[in-house]
Chains A and B, each alone.
Chain A
Amino acid sequence: MDAQQTLRTEVEQLVRVHGRGRTALMPILQDLNRAHSYISEDAMLAVSDALNVPRAEVYGVATFYSYFSVKPRGVYVIRVCRTISCAKQPDYHPAIAALFDELGIGFGETSSDGIFSLEQTNCAGMCDQGPAMVVNDDAHIHLTEASVRTILNDYRHKAQAAQSAKKAQ
């Protein structure tokens, strides 16, 4: 099976879970975005055909929401809250400097090992416990320069373990 056919099979499986109506579009795009780190052009075409939704509208939805990406991203997407209650904390800038330093990338970029993408997000709802960031589906609070390094190391080890498990198969 070529890559495109594999995607179409995957989308059909998602249709069985979420249904074939227009209301299934968001849940299906969410699952694809999570599984592949982004929504590829092939994925959008497959969804468009499976749900009978115009391609332009699938693209429109895929590019509207900040959690969706149409470009490949890392295994872990880091979203640092930039809204005022977090951004005014004394640890905010040291924590961001540690992220840049550990990852060697800036906002909007993906690390060369493909493990991390770094983004900024608007209010993560952790205003009382900032600075905060959300990594995939986990929230991290009270960030400091030191805690950022520890958190990144934990994720890095997890990703590397998953990669070597995949190779061993």
Chain B
Amino acid sequence: MDPKSVRGFVGNKLSFSEVAPKDGIRMAAEMAPEDVVAIIGASGLRGRGGAGFPTGKKWEFARSQEGTPKYTICNADEGEPGTFKDRLILTDFPELVFAGMAIAGRAVGAEFGILYLRAEYGWLREHLEATLERCRAANHLGKAILGNKDFNFDIAIRMGSGAYICGEETALLESLEGRRGDARNRIPFPVQAGYLGKPTTVNNVETLAWVPCILVKGPSWFAAMGTRKAPGAWLFSVSGDCKRPGIYEYPFGTSLRQILGDVGAENAKAVQVGGASGTCVPPAQFDRTLSPGDLATGGSIIVFGPGQDMFAVAENFQHFFADESCGQCIPCRVGNQRLLEAIGRMRKDGLDTDGERNVRQLAQTMTVASKCGLGQMSARAFLAILNNFSGELPGRA
């Protein structure tokens, strides 16, 4: 299957189209590794998978570790509902991602990288393998990259087998090591003891695609796109009730209202920002901005139009979490199931004061006591819907 056949709509010009990946690799080949880390740090680039950890800091930690060999992993297990930007990046700009991985390897001292691709994107594999071959032929990967005998890096593609939890970096590592995708305890962090117990950086597809762009155009170019607190731009996956769903690039600090205007969704009743584990925003808050300090996001925006039953949305998301919980810890395994049942009941019978107290307590327990982000975040959408749209429940009008 040709990946272009499902490429979809791109709503504005993407920064990624302005940068030649080989320029980024050349700069990294000519630079000292510490300087690469310093430039990425200075740009303010943060992880694009959702957690938003500063990339420069992650690389600095990995670089300072003594264990060898080190590994560089690209997390292409894009499974957050409503998120598909990595799909487009891997379709249109795979060389940029591989360049980002090679540069990460140079920065932290890793010579081997793995791209972990979700099973649902199996149709991308051939395209990515062919791109890897081209990169090797051009000496953008392999031994002595672009003439620097200390710059060796190659990449293997490994497939997931259908598990949302494996987008969580420690579960991803478990999967790569041939185990169930059960999230690990931290400490240690993957930069200390990751793949096979060795220092490992795990970065999102989009994060890595920004890396060569920042090297080529400079950290100040990147920082100038966003706000002072949140530098840079972001790719947003927009779907749901809007006229022009697709991929849009926006600088941090852009308001939700502006995005809704661009995508043709001025009459939205609610917007889910950040996927199923994100939050549901009512119209009164559409002037909020997309940035780490305000509406933090993995780049997913799902629009709900005037006719949408919001508790049907909550039930759909809850079904997702009940299904995808790895089952390792009780608050998440049992909590998500119980919350799903509770949403089903309240859609039918409404919610009295006792019932509401119970579900809020349950949500609180899941949030504070779950082992990893899946269980900690899974009640967010439901709570936001309960707080803003409880009038839609029977008996509450």
Interface band, chain A: 35 or more
Are B120 and A134 neighbours in the complex by a CB distance under 8 Å?
A: yes
Task: Give the interface segment out of B82-90, B144-152, B218-226, B254-262.
Answer: B82-90
Are B82 and A65 neighbours in the complex by a CB distance under 8 Å?
A: no
Chain B residues in the interface with A (C-beta under 8 A): 1, 6, 8-9, 78-84, 86-87, 118-123, 125, 158-164, 175-181, 196, 237-241, 245-247, 272, 276, 302, 308, 313, 316-317, 319-320, 323-324, 326
The answer to whether residues A125 and B178 also contact, given A66-B161, A88-B240, A141-B6 and a CB cut-off of 8 A, is no
Known: A33-B161, A66-B162, A129-B8. 6 other contacts (CB 8 A): A26-B175, A67-B119, A84-B81, A88-B241, A124-B120, A136-B122
List of A residues within 8 angstroms of B316 by Cβ: 82-84, 87
Bits for A75-89, please: 1 = Cβ < 8 Å to B, else 0. 000010011110110
List of A residues within 8 angstroms of B317 by Cβ: 84
A87 to B304: give the CA distance in the assembly, Å: 12
Task: Give the interface segment out of A56-64, A109-117, A148-156, A159-167.
Answer: A56-64
A85 to B83: give the CA distance in the assembly, Å: 10
Are B120 and A121 neighbours in the complex by a CB distance under 8 Å?
A: yes
Interface centre among A27, A53, A67, A125 (most CB of B within 10 A): A125
Are B178 and A26 neighbours in the complex by a CB distance under 8 Å?
A: yes
List of A residues within 8 angstroms of B196 by Cβ: 23
Interface centre among B119, B176, B276 (most CB of A within 10 A): B119
List of A residues within 8 angstroms of B78 by Cβ: 125
Chain A residues in the interface with B (C-beta under 8 A): 21-27, 29-30, 33, 51, 53, 57, 60-61, 64-68, 79, 82-85, 87-88, 121-130, 134, 136-139, 141
> Which residue of the partner chain A has the closest CB to B80?
A123
- Which of A27, A123, A136, A141 contacts B82, CB < 8 Å? A123
Are B176 and A23 neighbours in the complex by a CB distance under 8 Å?
A: yes
CB distance from B139 to the nearest CB of A (A): 26
Are A64 and B6 neighbours in the complex by a CB distance under 8 Å?
A: no
- Which of B81, B86, B123 contacts A127, CB < 8 Å? B81
CB distance from B260 to the nearest CB of A (A): 15
The answer to whether residues A125 and B121 also contact, given A85-B82, A88-B240, A139-B6 and a CB cut-off of 8 A, is yes
CB distance from B94 to the nearest CB of A (A): 16
